[in-house]
């Protein structure tokens, strides 16, 4: 069985800790592991391999975190743009043998009862072998309005229901044949594709063309033009709500999609006053608060039932129970062309990381870390000069036609428009301080001439 892991999604309801370039599935919130890593560990016990579907940015995040788990036997399919779950699953299934049974899972769910999970997967696998499309129905623990529901008759699916209002959700909760729609599936790759071709032929045909024209080397890279031609739709709308082969397995597995801060609060360790544990917290007569932030000391006095999230460049304060509205904050920021929904002060790149230390009109200062054996793209800038000061490690720096070694406490200067590159040929990370000076210091002022990671 192959685990298809869907890495799409930006987790906007967990802003500001989740950003589009560092979404919630890659944030290490649980014993220094991410939801993505927990997903891989959990499913590697029952699946023979992982097939990771992501965009380019998430691919490099996934690669780094898999290296930490010593998991390096995985397939990858990179989408230039997201077209929802139906195309993502279709492309992955088309790259597999038609008789391969796949377990399709999001990368950002938490499942704590792994023994019950293993039993559920055993039943799903048996149903999938009989050419059924299997979905997993989570046994509800309260009347939730943020999830879709599955109405069942035993293992037969009677209907899928959209996110309900509170009264309807309460009626579902009080019944014994309604389940939360988990977004997890199990089926033979070929059976799913047959049903997709039958009920959504436009998605099937466009996906087949995209895969036939893909760049397949060490991974599958779908072309941008071909991806745009695939209609955007979810697997539920495209197949599951139309097919007569759908079965549901009731799943009481201690599941959470960790979809907002209220859900996250329930999963984090709390002190005797119900505040989430935080070494930077000074809480005076404060109870039942979710407080996240590891950079600055956070002090609270006489406050209860709050959500306080400090990410260094943004501060969120909300009442518990209102965290669904965080999406409205993100939308407002996007309307004002803010970069805050997209990137943290520390940005992860395939070669390492950079952290913005100061960003003021006219100049920007960064701390850059380059991993051993990695190098930045061969590039130039039109609007800024750069000054690099090496703090530790040994940098190989190319400026124009000249390549030289720059050691700790040494520096180099790159004039505006000069072609340059930074490489780490050593055994330890390079740490350097970069000072950018110019009228414009945005991240899009990079012209890549050559790149090891095939970025544009």
The mean pLDDT value for 200-225 works out to 94
Residue-level pLDDT at 57: 78
Contact between 55 and 78 (Cβ < 8 Å) = yes
Task: Determine which of 192-206, 242-256, 321-335, 442-456 has the lowest per-residue pLDDT on average.
Answer: 442-456
Confidence at 64, pLDDT banded by 50, 70, 90: confident
Does position 364 have pLDDT exceeding 80, yes or no?
yes
Helix, strand or coil for residue 176?
A: coil
Give the torsion through C-alpha atoms of 289, 14, 455, 431, to 10 deg: -10
**pLDDT band (50, 70, 90) for residue 10:** confident
pTM of the model: 0.89
Q: Are 91 and 85 in contact (CB under 8 A)?
A: no
Between CA 28 and CA 57 the distance in angstroms is 17
DSSP run (H or E) holding 76: strand 74-78
Cα–Cα distance, 284 to 291 (Å, whole number): 13
pLDDT of residue 305: 98
Nearest to 249 by CA among 150, 147, 140, 123: 123
H/E element, 420? strand 420-423
d(CA 19, CA 405): 36
Per-residue model confidence as pLDDT tens digits over 80-89: 999 999 999 9
Dihedral angle, C-alpha 267, 268, 271, 274, nearest 10 °: -50
Structure tokens at 132: 């059924």
Count of CB atoms situated within 10 Å of the CB of 8: 19
Predicted pLDDT of residue 155:
96
Closest CA to 143 of 163, 117, 159, 160: 163
Average pLDDT, the chain: 94
What pLDDT shows up at residue 9?
76
Q: Is the pLDDT of residue 241 over 80?
A: yes
Q: Compute the average pLDDT of residues 92-100.
A: 97
Whether the CB-CB separation of 408 and 426 falls below 8 Å is answered with no
Q: Tell me the mean pLDDT in the region 106-111.
A: 95
Domains of the chain, by residue range, sit at: 2-256, 261-325, 346-450
pLDDT of residue 146: 87
Alpha-carbon distance 343 to 291, whole Å?
Answer: 21
3-state secondary structure of 452: coil
Query: Nearest-CA neighbor of 121 among 50, 53, 185?
Result: 185
Residue from 267, 247, 270 nearest 257 by CA = 267
CATH of 2-256, one of 3.30.360.10, 3.90.550.10, 3.30.365.10, 3.40.50.1360: 3.90.550.10
Q: How far apart are CA 289 and CA 287, in angstroms?
A: 6
Do 62 and 52 contact (CB within 8 A), yes or no?
yes
pLDDT attached to residue 294: 79
**CA–CA dist 182, 39 (Å, integer):** 14
| Spatial distance between the Cα atoms of 328 and 336, rounded to a whole number of angstroms | 13
Residue 401 in this model has a pLDDT that exceeds 90: yes
Three-class SS of residue 102? strand
Look up tokens 């800024």; give the residue. 384
Whole-angstrom Cα Rg for the chain: 24
The answer, yes or no, to whether residue 60 has pLDDT greater than 90, is no
Q: Determine if the peptide bond prior to 23 is cis (ω within 30°).
A: no
Supply 226's token pair: 């071909």
Q: Facing residues of 385 across strands?
A: 437
| pLDDT given for residue 11 in this prediction | 76
CATH of domain 346-450: 2.60.120.10
The Cα 265–Cα 254 span in angstroms is 15
Computed from CA positions of residues 246, 249, 250, 256, in that sequence, does the dihedral angle turn out positive or negative? Answer: negative
Tens-place pLDDT, residues 340-359: 999 889 988 999 999 999 99
Binning pLDDT at 50, 70 and 90, where does residue 142 land? very high
Q: How confident is the model at residue 112 (pLDDT cuts 50, 70, 90)?
A: very high
Give the model's pLDDT for residue 150.
Answer: 96
Q: Which two tokens stand for residue 354?
A: 């950079």
Gap between the Cα atoms of 421 and 396, Å rounded: 8
Tell me the C-alpha distance between 456 and 448, whole Å: 6
Residue 73 pLDDT > 90: no
Out of 59-63, 132-136, 152-156, 331-335, least confident range = 59-63
Report pLDDT for 444. 87
The model's confidence at residue 454, banded by pLDDT at 50, 70 and 90, is confident
In angstroms, the Cα distances linking 245 to 54, 207, 403 are 28, 22, 63
pLDDT at 295 over 90: no
Q: How many residues does the chain have?
A: 456
The answer for residues whose C-beta is within 8 angstroms of residue 121's C-beta and 6 or more apart is 46, 103, 186
């Amino acid at each position: 069985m192959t685990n298809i892991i869907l890495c799409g999604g930006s987790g906007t309801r967990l802003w500001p800790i989740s950003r589009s370039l560092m979404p919630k599935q890659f944030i290490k919130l649980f014993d220094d592991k991410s939801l993505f890593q927990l997903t891989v560990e959990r499913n590697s016990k029952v699946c023979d391999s992982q097939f990771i579907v992501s965009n380019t940015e998430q691919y490099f995040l996934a690669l780094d975190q898999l290296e930490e788990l010593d998991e390096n036997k995985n397939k990858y399919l990179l989408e230039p743009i997201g077209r929802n779950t139906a195309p993502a699953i279709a492309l992955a299934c088309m790259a597999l043998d038609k008789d391969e049974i796949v377990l399709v899972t999001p990368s950002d769910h938490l499942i704590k009862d792994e023994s019950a999970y293993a039993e559920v997967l055993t039943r799903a696998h048996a149903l999938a072998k009989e050419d059924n499309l299997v979905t997993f129905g989570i046994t509800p623990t309260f009347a939730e309005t943020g999830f879709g529901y599955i109405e069942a008759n035993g293992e037969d699916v009677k209907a899928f229901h959209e996110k309900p209002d509170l009264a309807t959700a309460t009626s579902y909760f009080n019944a014994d044949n309604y389940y939360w729609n988990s977004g997890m599936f199990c089926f033979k790759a070929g059976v799913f594709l047959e049903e997709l071709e039958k009920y959504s032929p436009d998605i099937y045909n466009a996906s087949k063309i995209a895969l036939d024209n893909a760049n397949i080397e060490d991974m599958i890279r779908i072309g941008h033009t071909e991806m745009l031609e695939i209609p955007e739709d979810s697997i539920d709308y495209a197949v599951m709500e139309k097919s007569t082969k759908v079965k549901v397995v009731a799943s009481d597995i201690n599941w959470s999609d960790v979809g907002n801060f209220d859900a996250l609060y329930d999963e984090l360790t709390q002190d005797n006053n119900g505040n989430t544990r935080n070494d930077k917290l000074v809480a005076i007569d404060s109870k039942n608060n979710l407080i996240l932030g590891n950079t600055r000391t956070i002090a609270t006095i006489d406050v209860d039932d709050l959500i306080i999230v400090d990410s260094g460049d943004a501060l969120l304060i909300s009442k518990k129970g209102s965290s669904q509205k965080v999406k409205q904050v993100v939308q407002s920021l996007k309307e004002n062309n803010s970069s805050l929904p997209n990137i943290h002060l520390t940005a992860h790149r395939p070669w390492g990381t950079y952290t913005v230390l100061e960003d003021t009109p006219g100049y920007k200062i960064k701390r850059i870390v380059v991993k051993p054996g990695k190098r930045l793209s061969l590039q130039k800038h039109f609007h800024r000069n750069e000054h690099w000061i090496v703090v530790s490690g040994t940098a190989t720096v190319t400026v124009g036609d000249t390549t030289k070694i720059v050691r700790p406490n040494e520096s180099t200067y790159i004039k505006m428009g000069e072609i340059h590159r930074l490489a780490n040929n050593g055994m330890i990370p390079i740490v350097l301080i970069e000072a950018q000076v110019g009228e414009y210091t945005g991240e899009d002022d990079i012209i890549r001439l050559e790149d090891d990671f095939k970025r544009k």
